[in-house]
Amino acid sequence: MKAPTVLARGILVLLVTLVRKSDGECQEALAKSEMNVNMKYQLPNFTAETPIQNVALHKNHIYLGTINHIYVLNDRDLQKVAEYQTGPVLEHPGCFPCQDCSHQANASGGVWKDNVNMALLVDTYYDDQLISCGSVRRGTCQRHVLPALDPADIQSEVHCMYSPQADEEPSQCPDCVVSALGTKVLMSVKQRFINFFVGNTISASYPPDYSLHSISVRRLKETQDGFKFLTDQSYIDVLPEFRDSYPIKYVHAFESNDFIYFLTVQRETLNAQSFHTRIIRFCSVDSGLHSYMEMPLECILTEKRRKRSPREEVFNILQAAYVSKPGAHLARQIGANPNDDILYGVFAQSKPDSAEPMNRSAVCAFPIKYVNEFFNKIVNKNNVRCLQHFYGPNHEHCFNRTLLRNSSGCEVHSDEYRTEFTTALQRVDLFMGQFNHVLLTSISTFIKGELTIANLGTSEGRFMQVVVSRSGSSTPHVNFLLDSHPMSPEMIVKDPLNQNGYTLVVTGKKITKIPLDGLGCEHFQSCSQCLSAPPFVQCGWCHDRCARSEECAAGTWTQDLCHPTVYEVFPTSAPLEGGTTLTICGWDFGFRKNSKFDVKKTRILLGNESCTLALSESTTNMLKCTVGPAMNEHFNMSIIISNGRGTVQYSTFAYVDPIITSISPSYGPKTGGTLLTLTGKYLNSGNSRHVSIGGKTCTLKRVSETILECYTPAQNSPTEFPIKLKIDLANKEIDSFSYQEDPIVYKIHPTKSFVRHVNIALIPR
């Protein structure tokens, strides 16, 4: 009964080996031809003492808002030229925001707090000035006047933007701007005034006298010493009882034409556990926020399935956003104009009933004109819900569903009221699931020619650059690990139309300057990848490497032609009768520029004979073809591969004549299970081999060039049968194997023994 067990194990080992071999076909060649994502680059960078929160640009200077510091860098090599300390700050209940409370350091109630920069803005309307708002001093701001001759000087003239007024209610503080829990501030110049649009995350733990508002619009006083609300409707607040259970995270804010927009992540309803993304819109001249509307945004991935309805995945949590114009190519694809504003969003799937993102991301593009059209289309339909987190479920707005609204423009009416729409505006992932195993955390875009290029960052600190296309076929042409910290949503693009254009990216305490025109060509390891890079990268193939034309001193530089490259061929021999399927691993097989793979002009020759190509199984990295018969043995035959533009020759293939010189043993029991060893030459040639005895399969255990082992099958009676070996189309008949009666044991002697070594005799009949 042992033989069958051994037999089963033999089958299992062989099958596992074959499966692994099949799964791993051409994987080494593929890896060698793929883009090198482990390149290291020397890029201008600066590392602050504490994490960087915000970045602003002005006149060739970069301003960094961090914890307790503001830094000024030059934009050429990111060298520090100035620094201003903003904290720690002594907070005391008896101190106003602009007062120096250091003399109360030993008084009870005084606490030293770090000042986290929550907003950093450059204003050039009144003066050139940097406005910074921090987490201390009730969220007030400071303005740093920037001298015309020295914009790096941020400490010579600093003003606190707080002016308490006696007639104000204690709970009203228009100068209290930002929340330490999270803030987005948008500055806009309208009708000769500067307005600040602010979205704050607030909680029940905030003291009432902080008077921070969830969303608000305030005007900068002409005296520039603070702000003012224009009406008592210039702000909206989440009700105190919902502030802890219904947090709102403001992710991004922007202005487009006549409207202000905020993007948020919040629970779907007051009682829901799941989260989603919303877009908020109101008119930029609406100081009373009467035109306030919000609705869900969804980035989806649709998977088509045979004979079943498509499966739709929703990426519900916005991680980062960027608004810019599209290139002409993308504009045509999404039905937009080159002058339209496009909202690009990086979305992630969250863990169940949580806002915590998983490593599953998608990128969607929302033309702002479509956002507005969607608002207009659904405004008078029965999908309206009152903003219960602002008003409570029993407010009159939650019963009166009559809308008096002209949502297409900004003719604001006082009888309008703020509205939430339940129907989501959906867009499909531009990259068709390509980032299904990555958490994207940042995005910015720029235009090169007709192309739209996205800069993407990941939670692992990886930076990528990729052409944005609705076809979903684009893959990153830049991909390298910049840092071990996540890429911050804070991303800035400077001079995209200029040859020296760059993007600034933040990872923890570090800011790095990356050129928009790419990082050279060395990371492209195959010709086809090199020539498939976007034109603005200016890469071409130089002999055996990817380079720009000025880097190709010795060799021919081309942007049109790729010769095929062979890495390995298996098997390396085939029987004379043919029928063997050759697998040829390498790269640039059938390459055509602007096309993934075109096999129409690919030809494979063995010597002078054609090897029939299996079109359905061939790719740009793997060719499969079936060899024909040969008259004689040939060693070191040339395999010639042509893709219509270039040719390569590989000379380690042979036609051979497999032979069996001996078998051992020559007989065995009729129940089978005998390990039969065939000795000979070229036994591992070809693809498949089959050994049979008496028409039944001898199950293979091991194959080498000179030895083939298999377990004999069972037969009904003791007889001699010839052994037949089939290798692809070659058939060999060799010596016979003799089946004999199974041995019978009548007696074992001795039947017992001391605990020691003893010889046992089996006594046959």
The pLDDT tens digits of the residues spanning 176-232 come to: 999 999 999 999 998 889 999 999 999 988 766 568 999 999 999 999 999 999 998
Binned at pLDDT 50, 70 and 90, residue 309 comes out as low
Structure tokens at 163: 């002016």
Same structural domain for residues 668 and 642? no
Predicted pLDDT at 165: 66
Predicted pLDDT at 589: 85
Domain boundary among 656, 686, 712: 656
Number of Cβ within 10 Å of residue 170's Cβ equals 9
Q: Is residue 308 part of a domain?
A: no
- Look up the domain containing 680 and give its range: 659-740
The structural domain count of the chain equals 3
Q: Is residue 546 part of a domain?
A: yes
Exposed/middle/buried for residue 524 (C-beta within 10 Å: 0-12, 13-18, 19+): buried
Whole-angstrom Cα distance, residue 132 to residue 632? 85
Domain boundary among 600, 625, 656: 656
Q: Is residue 194 part of a domain?
A: no
Same structural domain for residues 599 and 649? yes
Predicted pLDDT at 473: 76
Binned at pLDDT 50, 70 and 90, residue 558 comes out as very high
| Beta strands 462-467; 451-458: pairing state | antiparallel
Q: What is the CATH number of the domain that holds 551?
A: 3.30.1680.10
pLDDT at 6 over 50: no
Whole-angstrom Cα distance, residue 117 to residue 136? 9
Decide which of 142 and 765 is more confident. 142
Same structural domain for residues 650 and 677? no
Binned at pLDDT 50, 70 and 90, residue 109 comes out as confident
Q: Is residue 93 part of a domain?
A: no
Same structural domain for residues 647 and 699? no
Q: Strands across the sheet with 603-606, in order?
A: 573-575, 647-656, 634-642, 603-606, 609-610
Q: Is residue 665 part of a domain?
A: yes
Exposed/middle/buried for residue 32 (C-beta within 10 Å: 0-12, 13-18, 19+): middle
Same structural domain for residues 664 and 734? yes
Same structural domain for residues 623 and 648? yes
Q: What are the tens digits of pLDDT across the range 525-538?
A: 999 899 999 999 99
3-state secondary structure of 55: strand
Q: Name the pTM for this structure.
A: 0.86
Q: What are the tens digits of pLDDT across the range 633-663?
A: 887 788 888 877 778 888 889 999 999 999 9
Please, which residues have CB within 8 angstroms of residue 271's CB and are 6 or more apart in sequence? none
Distances (CA, A) of 747 to 760, 761, 765: 10, 8, 9
Q: What is the CATH number of the domain that holds 615?
A: 2.60.40.10
Predicted pLDDT at 23: 42
Same structural domain for residues 575 and 603? yes
Please, which residues have CB within 8 angstroms of residue 331's CB and are 6 or more apart in sequence? 337, 338, 340
pLDDT at 611 over 80: yes
Q: Is residue 364 part of a domain?
A: no
Q: Which of 514, 440, 493, 512 is nearest to 64 (CA)?
A: 512
Predicted pLDDT at 482: 97
Domain boundary among 591, 622, 656: 656
Structure tokens at 569: 């061929």
Cα angle 487, 493, 495 (rounded to 5 degrees) comes to 155
Structure tokens at 718: 């003791």
Q: What are the tens digits of pLDDT across the range 362-402?
A: 999 999 999 999 988 877 667 888 898 998 877 666 655 44
Please, which residues have CB within 8 angstroms of residue 462's CB and are 6 or more apart in sequence? 37, 479, 480, 481, 482, 487
Whole-angstrom Cα distance, residue 13 to residue 272? 53
Same structural domain for residues 606 and 594? yes
Whole-angstrom Cα distance, residue 119 to residue 55? 9
Whole-angstrom Cα distance, residue 479 to residue 233? 48
Same structural domain for residues 669 and 638? no
Q: Is residue 260 part of a domain?
A: no
Q: What are the tens digits of pLDDT across the range 466-498?
A: 999 987 678 999 999 999 999 999 999 999 988
Q: Are 508 and 53 in contact (CB under 8 A)?
A: no
Same structural domain for residues 571 and 637? yes
CA end-to-end span of the chain: 21
Same structural domain for residues 569 and 651? yes
Q: Is residue 539 part of a domain?
A: yes
Same structural domain for residues 664 and 681? yes
Sign of the torsion formed by the C-alpha atoms of 166, 169, 171 and 176: negative
